[in-house]
Amino acid sequence: MSAIIPGLSSMYAGNAGSVISRGVRATKSTNFWIVISGFFEPVFYLLSMGIGLGALVGEVESSGKLVPYAAFIAPALLAVSGMNGAIYDSTMNVFFKLNYGKIYQTMLTTPLGPLDVALGEIFLALLRGGLYATGFLGVMQLFGLNLSWTAILAIPAVIIIAFGFASIGMGITSYMTRFQQLDLIQFFLLPMFLFSATFYPLSVYPEGVQVFIQALPLWHGVELIRALTLGTFSAGHLWHLLYFVVMIVVGLIFTSRRLKKLFQD
Amino acid sequence: MPNPVISAKSLVKKFKDFEAVKGIDFEVEPGESFGLLGPNGAGKSTTMRMIGAVSNRTSGDLEILGMDPSVDGPKIRAQLGVVPQADNLDQELKVWENLYVYGRYFGIDKKIVKDRLEGLLDFAQLKDKRNEKIDDLSGGMKRRLTIARGLMNEPKIFLLDEPTTGLDPQARHILWDRLFRLREQGTTLVLTTHYMDEAEQLADRLIVVDKGQIMAEGSPAALIRQYSSREVAEVRFGSDSNRSAADALSGVGDRIEVLPDRILIYANNGEEILSEVHRRGLVPITSLVRRSSLEDVFLKLTGRSLID
Ligand SMILES: Nc1ncnc2c1ncn2[C@@H]1O[C@H](COP(=O)(O)OP(=O)(O)OP(=O)(O)O)[C@@H](O)[C@H]1O
Ligand SMILES: [Mg+2]
């Protein structure tokens, strides 16, 4: 890793764990309901669109398999729940700490390096993303929307997706100095959520639009999770994973460099 | 001579094109107590942050405990205790948790951290506030907690940036006492301060910094001997008449400084100076004679009063 990040010894003390336990300690005192509300959002979408709209739509084809509409959109919503959890922690929470809390300044006067801080904070985001995802997968099981045993692999997959979003999200947040700028993130996320083949197959778009959607991270997440819960996963889906691996590595480098620039320049 | 624990050569720090530290050289020996003295904006905190391995130098050489801070930041910081100029306590955590979590950042064993934090709460006189939120502490209490926190890792070098600003006299003396004892145990101290008495009490040796440059270096006593007379007569004529009185006093003593509110006359014997003032028919509203202090050294070197 020191080949990827020059001067790793100046960036990393191998103690991200202390950042995580600080985060858990601090979260105990924040509002439980804020944490919970992020979980319900995709559940409401599933109930209204999947069950309600699904009654009208009937079956859809995915990877050559005919599946109920609710089973088609549920994995997409699962990917979104992981993304939301990660984004909430890596933007709102990180924004507060960067601009008001002086928490990172304190951490970086100790042996902790920017990479410890980034990894610790991102892990906290994953924790939240992972909890949302596990809960949502449980709801899917309840409605019989997991069509294959491979659905269980959706949990680690969602965590990888969340990791990608959190590591980039934290770096982007580091450029923001006012609360209003956080709305920009929502401005980007909402259309991505609606258009990433979440509610209908990619094939409805003309070619050019398809390429654009395929460049966005959520589409890869949706395809990956969908293949796992529908049981259509094949080697051809591995490139979606690769997309997130690249996103994670790039995000980590980007974020820890930003932290170093902000606090250790 | 043992190797210095801090060694700076032609140390420069630039922010964009503004040079905050303009090529300074100094060394700090193990166990020494080293002071940085200078007016607002002199570059003291900037220098402290470079020593603390949180700010990269723009050019020059810097070695802390034999290591280069831009390469081995985490290893260096593991051995440092840091009290920043502005308190940066964790407001989402309680008083005791602030110490606990901080110790864990150093990777210190949980049990050891718990042991140490009791002693540190005691030192900070915050035992009965251990479960309070940070926002509910007074300014001085926050300062005391920040100072105590800096000792959590039993540092080899303790960096204190204006540690006693905001402390009441009693808390200040408790801190001085603690610093004396740390020094006896071999801890190296590096501190900045605006209080002359503090610098005289605590620093074996100090540098006077102004506009990013070193103006003088030495022990407090040596600096006073070199840059000031033995005594100072201070006379006040009221802010409107100080200037004209100063004209009438020309030639009296070794040197005269006219400040907005008073006139300082430097001489070997202050009482003789006061007699001379009266002989010239001038009647000050108040007058006193005192020994020269670092304040006078500072005034001589920078042409400015320290506390501006
Ligand atoms: N991050 C920064 N970006 C730009 N300029 C800075 C930065 N930090 C410090 N400076 C500038 O560098 C100079 C030295 O600042 P520094 O904080 O080191 O002064 P100081 O000697 O500690 O003063 P004080 O006694 O007021 O604490 C000042 O002119 C300040 O404006
Ligand atoms: Mg300062």
Q: Is the CB of B56 under 6 A from ligand 1?
A: no
Q: How confident is the model at residue A30 (pLDDT cuts 50, 70, 90)?
A: low
pLDDT of res. B138 = 93
- Are the C-beta atoms of residues A7 and A113 closer than 8 Å to each other? no
ipTM: 0.83
User: For residue A170, which of A220, A134, A119 has the smallest C-alpha distance?
Assistant: A119
| Contact across the interface for B56 and A264, Cβ inside 8 Å | yes
pLDDT of res. B141 = 93
What is the residue with the minimal CA distance to atom 27 of ligand 1? B40
Domain-wise residue ranges, chain A: 16-263
Distance from the Cα of B266 to chain A's closest Cα (Å) equals 44
pLDDT of res. B244 = 85
Distance from the Cα of A40 to chain B's closest Cα (Å) equals 26
- What's the gap between Cα B34 and its chain centre? 9
Q: Is the CB of B46 under 6 A from ligand 1?
A: yes
Structure tokens at B141: 């209490």
Nearest atom of ligand 1 to the alpha carbon of B42: 21
Q: Is the CB of B193 under 6 A from ligand 1?
A: no
At the top level of CATH, which class does the domain B229-291 belong to?
A: alpha beta
Distance from the Cα of A261 to chain B's closest Cα (Å) equals 9
- Are the C-beta atoms of residues A195 and A178 closer than 8 Å to each other? no
How many other C-beta atoms lie within 10 A of the C-beta of residue A117?
A: 29
- Are the C-beta atoms of residues B215 and B300 closer than 8 Å to each other? no
Give the closest of B70, B84, B104 to A109, CB-based: B84
**DSSP code of residue B42:** S
Q: Is the pLDDT of residue A131 over 80?
A: yes
pLDDT of res. B285 = 92
pLDDT of res. A54 = 86
Q: Is the CB of B40 under 6 A from ligand 1?
A: yes
Classify residue A63 as exposed, middle or buried by CB count within 10 Å of its CB (0-12, 13-18, 19+). middle
With contacts defined as CB-CB under 8 Å, which chain B residues touch A13?
74, 78, 107
Nearest atom of ligand 1 to the alpha carbon of B85: 27
Q: How confident is the model at residue A4 (pLDDT cuts 50, 70, 90)?
A: very low
How many other C-beta atoms lie within 10 A of the C-beta of residue A15?
A: 22
Q: How confident is the model at residue A3 (pLDDT cuts 50, 70, 90)?
A: very low
Ligand 1 center to B51 CA (angstroms): 15
| Ligand 1 binding pocket mutation candidate from B24, B45, B193 (most atoms within 8 A of CB) | B45
Interface residues from chain A to B (CB-CB < 8 Å): 7, 9-10, 12-13, 15, 18-19, 21-22, 25-26, 29-30, 101-103, 105-113, 263-265
Q: How confident is the model at residue A2 (pLDDT cuts 50, 70, 90)?
A: very low
Q: Is the CB of B213 under 6 A from ligand 1?
A: no
Q: Is the CB of B41 under 6 A from ligand 1?
A: yes
Look over chain A and give the mean of its residue pLDDT values, rounded to a whole number. Answer: 87
- Report which bound ligand comes closest to the CA of A262: 1
Q: How confident is the model at residue A144 (pLDDT cuts 50, 70, 90)?
A: very high
Is A211 strand, coil or helix? helix
pLDDT of res. A33 = 66
| Contact across the interface for A111 and B78, Cβ inside 8 Å | yes
Per-residue pLDDT of chain B (308 residues; tens, 9 = 90+): 678 999 999 999 999 899 999 999 999 999 999 999 988 999 999 999 999 999 999 999 999 999 999 899 999 999 999 999 999 999 989 999 999 999 999 999 999 999 999 999 999 999 999 999 999 999 999 999 999 999 999 999 999 999 998 889 988 998 898 899 899 999 999 999 988 888 988 999 999 999 999 999 999 999 999 999 999 999 999 878 888 888 888 888 999 988 888 999 999 999 999 999 999 988 999 999 999 998 899 888 887 765 44
Which helix (H) or strand (E) segment holds residue B227: the answer is: helix B220-227
| Contact across the interface for B91 and A101, Cβ inside 8 Å | yes
pLDDT of res. A162 = 92
pLDDT of res. A8 = 75
Spell out where chain A has E strands. Answer: 59-62, 65-68
How many angstroms separate the CA atoms of B281 and B272, rounded?
Answer: 15
How many angstroms separate the CA atoms of B155 and B188, rounded?
Answer: 9
User: For residue B163, which of B146, B149, B180, B183 has the smallest C-alpha distance?
Assistant: B146
| Contact across the interface for A9 and B101, Cβ inside 8 Å | no
Global pTM value = 0.85
| Contact across the interface for B102 and A106, Cβ inside 8 Å | yes
| Contact across the interface for B93 and A18, Cβ inside 8 Å | no
Q: Which CATH number applies to B6-218?
A: 3.40.50.300
| Contact across the interface for A101 and B82, Cβ inside 8 Å | no
| Contact across the interface for B90 and A265, Cβ inside 8 Å | no
- Report which bound ligand comes closest to the CA of B24: 1
Q: Is the pLDDT of residue A5 over 60?
A: no
Position B86: which residue type?
A
CB-based contacts of B256, cutoff 8 Å, min separation 6: B246, B249, B250, B263, B264, B265, B266
Q: Please compute the mean of the pLDDT values over residues A228-248 and round it to a whole number.
A: 93
What is the residue with the minimal CA distance to atom 18 of ligand 1? B43
| Contact across the interface for A109 and B91, Cβ inside 8 Å | no
What is the residue with the minimal CA distance to atom 9 of ligand 1? B46
Q: Is the CB of B58 under 6 A from ligand 1?
A: no
User: For residue A63, which of A211, A209, A227, A183 has the smallest C-alpha distance?
Assistant: A227
pLDDT of res. B308 = 43
Classify residue B22 as exposed, middle or buried by CB count within 10 Å of its CB (0-12, 13-18, 19+). middle
Domain-wise residue ranges, chain B: 6-218, 229-291
Give the closest of B54, B89, B102 to A108, CB-based: B54
Q: How confident is the model at residue A1 (pLDDT cuts 50, 70, 90)?
A: very low
| A5-8 LR contacts (CB < 8 Å, sep 24+) | A5/A115, A5/A253, A5/A256, A7/B70, A7/B71, A8/A115
pLDDT of res. A264 = 67
Beta bridge partners of B233: B265, B289
Q: How confident is the model at residue A64 (pLDDT cuts 50, 70, 90)?
A: confident
